[in-house]
Amino acid sequence: MPIQAGDRIPEAVLQYIDNGVHRVDTHTLFDDRKLVLFAVPGAFTPTCSERHLPSFIAQFNAFRARGIEVACIAVNDAFVMQAWGKDQHVPAGLRMLSDGNGDFTRALGMELDASGYGMGMRSKRYALYADNGLVKALWVEGPGEFNVSSAEYVLAHLPD
């Protein structure tokens, strides 16, 4: 069953690159902070590179002004996420997280079978807002859609 508002973020270990490859468990990532996590089916893919990530880059300071951290996640390796972040000029502080084996994605119930496109198991496109590890809001896109997980939509629909 997919994660829902009111659920606690499941335990998993993710990776990112910052002067070397680092591991971070989800409790460390989510506890004691407000965080918007948005997931993309794949780094360097068209909608992800042309619309989804750019929306969060453009609105990054608006989230920060509200005391909310921002992170992007994909079922790609940490090296791909780092390269994509550099290519997209991601600002310092916007974390580019790797769920390389899809463990966190499966724990959330957000896996997407993209094997028909030669991409294997990926993540659905979504955004979630969590406060101290508790999901407060979740916006999941339908197949091929990009409507409810943009930074602008999330900002307009954040719960109080």
Q: Which residues are part of the catalytic machinery?
A: 48
Residue 51 neighbours by CB under 8 Å, 6+ apart? 146, 150
3-class secondary structure, 84:
helix
Token readout for 13 is 């270990």
CA distance 132 to 151: 20
The answer for 44, left when phi > 0, alpha when psi is -120 to 50, beta otherwise, is left
